[in-house]
């Protein structure tokens, strides 16, 4: 057991050093077996990238830098520029790049002097940028190779068809209307793969979104770096034999003949664009209907809502109406989006709204349905108001919305994993003294309400200090998300029977004293996990509660009412014996239920890890966090395996020390290295 713990510690400590190593091997290789004086020869710079790493093409795309070489010795030869193989396109969270992975040969033509004899030495410094999902690192290396003049040289094998410069170039025509570039497919060739621009005359994003329309390739020019009105454009694309070929497109001044419009998508709405005030204003000025989805990866309700956009009728209606689809991603703290939310009376998400110039915004419910999206779109398209001003509600209506939203929080996907724990608690208490059951219900309710009040005070304090915060703001903190993820793993392992910490955190009272504290803390925990979700009606109520016109007392009252609504089902079960008596008596079935309820907790932990991946943007750290969760699970297993009551005192002490060191060391490492 001690060797296991030591080995895991050592492995984990090495992770940081590994990420700093050079992940690309670079050297020179000869491609010509018979090197003759006065003739041409081929050599190559060979790059061999580790898995998940890449280097860049001559046109790197949105970011990156192509490899270079600075020669120091050439033995009188003349070496030409790199002859590039065709690249591949990768999308790194919206950043489009043209890259090489695995092994790549950058060919160079060598002019051998007519008086060459003996050996030829090629020596220089190669420089390249290697990247993966976590970042990029520049490197350089001295490379050297010696070949002999004459026959008998070892020649490295390469596939000539991958190098478009070594093959005949195709020609075609192109035209531009200022908004898009239309290139005619060369006659007799089925070149319908991605067309890579040899230089940045069209953006990498436009390259990724190019469309085949009839017998043409259409590429948008929204982010073009040049004014395309005449001249030659060179593209590289796949050929029918799997190699690459260059295409020279002669750009004319006449507008291209209009090709048939591609059919509308049937499984998803139109292309989403990142939201910004400028993009929204331009679309509205053009007379378009704008749909804005205020979302975040930590917002579970937002993710559930997205299923609506895959419905055929919704996708078709949005496309036919020419709706401009904008995504306002609030995964990370963004004051601009927070201010925009405030214009709609909201301090949190989800928020989905249709906009059209001259009409009031059509604000949709927090829990979307396809029917509602279609109804709102129909109203906006017809110039009719969809939703009355929310400020017309009376104070009492807002209170009812807050109370009802609190009740419905229990049905949201964030709170669902905790429901099973409460069911176990009430099942165990079935038949217990009524006073004890009522006390536990009150303690749980107090935990919920106190947590809501604390959350309200924290939000009020941060907002008074100028911070842009709202419902679920703590989910924008990687540290908070990591802690919640670890807590879900630990609770899930306990429920699965890996080790025993009791099920007090789920609301099961383990006795006097500690059991009461645990029951109170279970209410706190339920509130914590509820914040990534928003129940129907709750989002608008929260916006009203945190409006600058509300007094601190009114805001605290609203949050108290929300807490009461969330705690009400459990409070009723505890206060009315007849309701509690409907629950089955404790028995063996509880063990099966307890173990089964561990899986929703594990699922929620995976969701939180996905959220972390969006918040951190450091693939190496997310990898460490994934391994860290495995080490934390190992610590729990060690505690359960050797810390059980039937073990000797020495074994139990060793297990506690080992598991504690592994748990605390791993968690400490993750927080210390948290980006």
Regarding predicted confidence, which is higher, 410 or 288? 288
The answer to whether residues 95 and 168 belong to one domain is no
Specify the 3-state DSSP secondary structure of 474: helix
Of these ranges, 208-217, 221-230, 464-473, 611-620, the one predicted with the greatest mean pLDDT is 208-217
- CATH assignment at residue 386: 3.40.30.10
Q: Final residue of a domain: which of 560, 588, 616?
A: 588
Q: What are the strands of the beta sheet with 216-220, ordered from one edge?
A: 196-197, 231-238, 244-252, 170-176, 180-184, 216-220, 211-213
In-domain check, residue 81: yes
pLDDT at 548: 58
Higher pLDDT, 630 or 252: 630
> What are the pLDDT digits (tens) for 294-347?
988 777 777 778 888 888 888 888 988 889 999 888 877 667 887 888 788 777
Distance CA 612, CA 332 (A): 11
Task: Reduce the DSSP state of residue 250 to 3 states and report it.
Answer: strand
CA distance 255 to 181: 9
Q: Which residues contact 612 (CB under 8 A, 6 or more apart)?
A: 478, 481, 482, 485, 622, 625
Of residues 489 and 532, more confidently modeled = 489
Q: How far apart are CA 278 and CA 296, in angstroms?
A: 20
Chain-centroid distance of CA 425 in Å reads: 36
In terms of average pLDDT, the best of 30-44, 524-538, 615-629 is: 30-44
**Which is more confidently placed, 111 or 264?**
111
Residues 351 and 405 placed together within one structural domain of the fold: no
Q: Show Cβ contacts of residue 645 under 8 Å, excluding neighbours closer than 6 positions.
A: 652
**For residue 434, how many other CB atoms are within 10 A of its CB?**
13
Highest mean pLDDT among 282-286, 509-513, 553-557: 282-286
Per-residue pLDDT of 500-545, as tens digits, reads 764 333 333 333 344 677 778 878 877 777 766 666 656 666 666 6
Are both 136 and 168 inside the same structural domain? no
357, part of any domain = yes
Residues counted in the chain: 675
- Asked if residue 380 and residue 306 are part of one domain, the reply reads yes
Nearest-CA neighbor of 467 among 457, 459, 475?
459
Find the CATH number of the domain harbouring 174.
2.60.40
Q: Tokens 């670079």 — which residue?
A: 26
**Is the CB of residue 229 less than 8 Å from the CB of residue 176?**
yes
User: Do 439 and 578 fall within a single domain?
Assistant: yes
DSSP string for 98-167: EEEESEEEEEEEEE--TT--SEEEEEEEEEEEEEETTEEEEEEEEEEEEEESBS--------GGG-GGGS
Tell me: pLDDT of 267 over 50: no
Check whether residue 142 and residue 64 sit in a common domain: yes
Rounded distance, CA 184 to CA 288, Å?
A: 30
Contact assessment for residue 71 and residue 122, using Cβ atoms and an 8 Å cutoff:
yes
Burial environment of residue 549 by CB neighbours within 10 A (0 to 12, 13 to 18, 19 or more): exposed
Please indicate, yes or no, if residue 264 is contained in any of the structural domains: no
**What does the angle CA 443 – CA 446 – CA 450 come to, to the nearest 5 degrees?**
145
Domain assignment present for residue 431? The answer is yes
Residue-wise pLDDT tens digits, 384-409: 888 644 444 567 777 887 788 788 77
The 3-state secondary structure of 480-495, one letter per residue: HHHHHHHHHHHHHHHH
Measured in degrees and rounded to the nearest 5, phi and psi for residue 350 equal -80, 155
Rounded to 5, what percent of the chain is helix, strand, coil? 45, 20, 35
Tokens of 402: 């807050």
In a domain, 108, yes or no: yes
Phi, psi dihedrals of residue 158, rounded to the nearest 5°: -145, 160
Beta strands 244-252 and 170-176, pairing class: parallel
Cis-peptide, bond into residue 208, ω within 30° of zero: no
Higher pLDDT, 537 or 622: 622
Q: Is 530 exposed, middle or buried (0-12, 13-18, 19+ CB in 10 A)?
A: buried
Domain-located, residue 628: no
Q: Are 540 and 401 in contact (CB under 8 A)?
A: yes
- Domain of 208 in residue numbering reads as 164-252
Tens digits of residue pLDDT in 68-90: 999 999 999 999 999 999 999 98
DSSP 3-state of 171 = strand
% of the chain with per-residue pLDDT over 70: 78
CATH number, position 76: 2.60.40.1250
- pLDDT (0 to 100) of residue 433: 65
Report pLDDT for 122: 94
Residue from 220, 148, 215, 208 nearest 179 by CA: 220
Structure tokens given for 509: 């009272």
The more confidently predicted of residues 51 and 592 is 51
Task: Read off the pLDDT of each residue in 634-648 and give the average, rounded to a whole number.
Answer: 86
Given 140, 158, 176, the domain boundary residue is: 158
* Mean pLDDT computed over 209-229: 79
Residues 282, 362 within the same domain: yes
Where does residue 422 rank: exposed (0-12), middle (13-18), buried (19+ CB within 10 A)? buried
* Predicted local distance difference test score (pLDDT) of residue 583: 58
Percent residues over pLDDT 90 in the chain:
19
Between CA 560 and CA 445 the distance in angstroms is 11
- The secondary element (H helix, E strand) that includes residue 314 is helix 312-320
The three-state secondary structure class of 600 is helix
Which residues pair with residue 631 across a beta bridge? none
Same domain, yes or no, for 194 and 226? yes
User: 79 is written with which tokens?
Assistant: 């070496």
Give the residue among 188, 208, 171 at the shortest CA–CA distance from 62.
Answer: 208
Q: Which is more confidently placed, 2 or 384?
A: 384
Please, are residues 336 and 303 in contact by the beta-carbon 8 Å criterion? no
The whole-number pLDDT of residue 454 equals: 84
Domain count, the chain: 4
Per-residue pLDDT, averaged over 121-136, amounts to: 88
Do residue 469 and residue 515 come from a single domain? yes
Average pLDDT, the chain: 78
Give the span between the Cα atoms of 563 and 523, in whole angstroms: 10
Q: Does residue 90 sit in the same domain as residue 146?
A: yes
Task: Say if 128 falls within a structural domain.
Answer: yes
Report yes or no on 653 lying in a domain.
no
In terms of domains, do 31 and 85 share one? yes
What local confidence, expressed as pLDDT, does residue 121 receive? 93
Burial 394-408 (b: 16+ CB within 10 A, else e): eeeebbbbbbbbbbb
Query: Which residue, among 66, 43, 24, has the nearest Cα to 123 in the 3D structure?
Result: 43
Name the residue among 233, 163, 222 with its Cα closest to residue 195. Answer: 233
User: Same domain for 581 and 443?
Assistant: yes
DSSP one-letter string for 549-589? TS-HHHHHHHHHHHHHHHHHHHHHHHH-HHHHHTSPPSSTH
In 239-287, which ranges are E strands? 244-252, 272-274
Q: Domain boundary at 332, 362, 390, which? A: 390
Burial of 159 (0-12, 13-18, 19+ CB in 10 A): exposed
3-state secondary structure of 77: coil
d(CA 54, CA 475): 32
CA dist 409 and 566 (Å) reads: 6
């Amino acid at each position: 057991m001690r060797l296991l713990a030591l080995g895991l510690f050592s492995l984990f400590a090495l992770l940081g050093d590994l990420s700093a190593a050079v992940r690309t091997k670079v050297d020179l290789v000869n491609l010509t077996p018979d090197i003759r004086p006065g003739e041409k020869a081929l050599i190559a710079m060979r790059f061999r990238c580790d898995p998940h790493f890449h280097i860049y093409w001559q046109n790197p795309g949105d970011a990156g830098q192509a490899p270079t070489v600075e020669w120091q010795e050439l033995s009188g030869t003349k070496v030409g520029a790199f002859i590039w193989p065709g690249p591949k396109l990768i999308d790194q969270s919206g950043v489009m790049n043209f890259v090489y992975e695995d092994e790549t040969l950058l060919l160079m033509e060598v002019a051998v002097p007519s008086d060459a004899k003996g050996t030829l030495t090629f020596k220089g410094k190669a420089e390249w940028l290697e990247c993966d999902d976590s970042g990029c690192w520049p490197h350089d290396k001295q490379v050297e190779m010696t070949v002999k003049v004459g026959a008998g040289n070892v020649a490295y094998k390469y596939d000539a068809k991958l190098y478009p410069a070594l093959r005949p170039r195709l020609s075609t025509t192109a035209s531009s209307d200022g908004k898009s570039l239309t290139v005619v497919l060369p006659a007799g060739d089925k070149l319908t793969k991605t067309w890579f621009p040899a230089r940045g005359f069209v953006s990498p994003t436009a390259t990724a979104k190019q469309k085949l329309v009839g017998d043409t390739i259409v590429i948008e020019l929204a982010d073009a770096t040049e004014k395309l009105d005449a001249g030659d454009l060179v593209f590289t694309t796949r050929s029918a034999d799997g190699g690459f070929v260059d295409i020279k497109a002669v750009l004319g001044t006449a507008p291209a003949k209009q090709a048939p419009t591609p059919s509308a998508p049937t499984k998803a709405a139109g292309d989403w664009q990142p939201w910004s005030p400028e993009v929204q204003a331009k679309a509205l000025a053009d007379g378009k209907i704008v749909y804005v989805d205020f979302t975040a990866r930590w917002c579970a309700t937002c993710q559930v809502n997205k299923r609506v956009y895959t419905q055929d009728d919704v996708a078709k209606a949005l496309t036919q109406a020419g709706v401009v689809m904008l995504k306002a991603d609030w995964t990370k703290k963004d004051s601009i989006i927070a201010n925009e939310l405030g214009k709609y009376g909201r301090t949190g998400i989800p928020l989905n709204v249709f906009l059209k110039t001259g009409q009031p915004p059509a604000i949709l419910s927090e829990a979307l349905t396809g029917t509602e999206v279609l109804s709102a779109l129909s109203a906006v398209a017809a110039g009719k108001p969809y939703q009355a001003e929310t400020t017309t509600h009376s104070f009492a209506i807002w209170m009812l919305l807050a109370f009802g939203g609190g009740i419905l929080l229990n049905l949201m996907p964030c709170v669902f994993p905790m429901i099973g724990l409460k069911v176990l608690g009430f099942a165990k208490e079935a038949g217990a003294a009524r006073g004890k059951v009522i006390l536990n219900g009150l303690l749980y309710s107090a935990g919920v309400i106190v947590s809501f009040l604390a959350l309200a005070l924290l939000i009020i304090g941060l907002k008074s200090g100028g911070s842009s915060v709202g419902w679920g703001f703590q989910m924008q903190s990687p540290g908070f998300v990591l802690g919640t993820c670890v807590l879900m793993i630990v609770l899930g392992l306990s429920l699965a029977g890996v080790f025993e910490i009791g099920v007090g955190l789920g609301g099961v009272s383990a006795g006097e004293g500690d059991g009461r504290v645990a029951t109170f803390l279970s209410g706190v925990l339920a509130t914590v996990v509820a914040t990534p979700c928003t129940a129907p009606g709750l989002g608008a109520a929260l916006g009203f509660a945190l409006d600058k016109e509300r007094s601190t007392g009114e805001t605290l009252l609203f949050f108290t009412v929300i807490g009461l609504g969330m705690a009400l089902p459990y409070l009723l079960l505890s206060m009315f014996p007849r309701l509690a008596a409907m629950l089955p008596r404790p028995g063996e079935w509880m063990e099966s239920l307890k173990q089964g309820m561990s899986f929703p907790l594990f699922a929620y932990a995976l969701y939180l890890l996905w959220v972390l991946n969006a918040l951190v943007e450091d693939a190496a750290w997310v990898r460490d966090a994934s391994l860290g969760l495995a080490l934390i699970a190992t610590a729990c297993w060690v505690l359960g395996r050797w810390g059980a009551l039937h073990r000797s005192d020495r074994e139990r002490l060793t297990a506690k020390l080992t598991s504690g060191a592994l748990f605390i060391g791993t968690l400490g490492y993750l927080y210390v290295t948290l980006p």
